Amino acid sequence: MLRYLTAGESHGKAEVAILEGLPAGLKVEAAKIDQELTRRQAGTGRGRRMQIEKDKVRILSGLKQGLSLGSPVALLIENKDFSIERLPRVICPRPGHADLAGLLKYGFSDARNVLERASARETASRVAIGAVCKIFLREFRIDITSRVLSIGGESAHTAMQDKILQAQQEKDTVGGIFEVAAQGVPCGLGSYVQPDRRLDARLAAAIISIPGIKAIEFGLGFGYADRFGSASHDAIYYNKAKGYFRRTNNAGGIEGGISNGEDLLIRACMKPISTLLNPLDSVNIASRKAAKATVERSDTCVVEAAGVIAEAGAALVLADALLEKFGGDNLPDIKKAYQAYQARIR
């Protein structure tokens, strides 16, 4: 079982993550984690914070001579912009952000106490954890990628770029849709026996918890709504070379909460960023009078980065499900169980 915790504020000293349950014997390189952190910071529409922070991970525990020990892995990503104690109060909450709901919930008089943790800066920790899980999954030839499908309703590359530039010029923001694909996922991860063990439920939780994600679908998703069953479900075939296989993948690789051996296909919608340079109407929480929402340093579009974060979330869920299925405290034992299972189901 994999468990993780993250800690840290957007402008605090650092982002911190602890991953427990990683088996012993896995080679983990900081450079591979750094590659994923760099991908998270990329994409048209990113703001000035990405020019300040050059995220690099420090692995504090859980390894010896580059190999995992089976003990918790602690990861540290230091913030160059460590300014939380100097930043001004935020008293005009931003529509679409956690500002107002958070300060009412916790009894704050300053929404900065909310936004510092609600910020997507926390996702740097998730990407670092996901990078470790990706390293583990590659031992089983499981690969996870993402791509942007649309920005602001546009799907052609040039049109998507133009939409982001338009939003920048108009001091606005824009969202879009991305897709995550996992190739090489074996049949049998997850379970139908309890709701919280269903693989799609676990993946949905990991991805919908990314700040700004408002919708998710698997495979055909909402497309099922306007089809008959005969045009929806993936017929089953078998031959000795492939074993069981499908010629279509409308299910997106999951049936009944269990992976079915086809590629996992997940799409999610990222809303436009909440901070606008032309701010929306709000209320000053000190005076209760009408005011414009606070303007914080922000991005214009982060759909590409959201895809990278979703890859990390999917990697964590799939690694956990694989360990749940094949067990073992060290990598060689897990591989033996995996190989024996693959031989049986073919």
For residue range 322-340, list pLDDT tens digits in order. Answer: 999 999 899 999 999 999 9
User: Which residue ranges form the domains of the chain, and what is each CATH number?
Assistant: 84-345 (3.60.150.10)
pLDDT tens for 22-35 read: 999 999 999 999 99
Residues 144/137, Cβ–Cβ less than 8 Å: yes
Question: Percent of the chain at pLDDT above 90?
Answer: 91
Q: How far apart are CA 330 and CA 298, in angstroms?
A: 43
In contact, 89 and 112? CB cutoff 8 Å: yes
Yes or no: say if 185 and 261 are a contact pair by the CB < 8 Å rule: yes
Per-residue pLDDT tens over the stretch 182-219: 999 999 999 999 999 999 999 999 999 999 999 999 99
Residue 281, token pair as written in the block: 């109407």
Q: What is the rounded average pLDDT for all residues in the chain?
A: 95
| Contact predicate 235/248, CB 8 Å | yes
Contacts of residue 331, defined as CB under 8 A and 6 or more positions apart, other chains included, come to 23, 24, 25, 26, 139
Identify the pLDDT of residue 49: 59
* Alpha carbon separation from 28 to 32, 122, 246, 314 (Å, rounded): 8, 22, 35, 19
- Place 155 in a pLDDT band, splitting at 50, 70 and 90: very high
Q: Are strands 281-283 and 236-239 parallel, antiparallel or unpaired?
A: unpaired
Per-residue pLDDT at 109 exceeds 90: yes
Q: Which of the pair, 345 or 200, is modelled with greater confidence?
A: 200
Task: Kindly report the three-state secondary structure assignment for every residue of 118-168.
Answer: HCHHHHHHHHHHHHHHHHHHHCCCCEEEEEEEEECCECCHHHHHHHHHHHH
The whole-angstrom separation of Cα 87 and Cα 119 is: 15
| Segment 6-15 mean pLDDT | 95
Q: Are strands 73-78 and 143-151 parallel, antiparallel or unpaired?
A: unpaired
Mean pLDDT of 102-114: 96
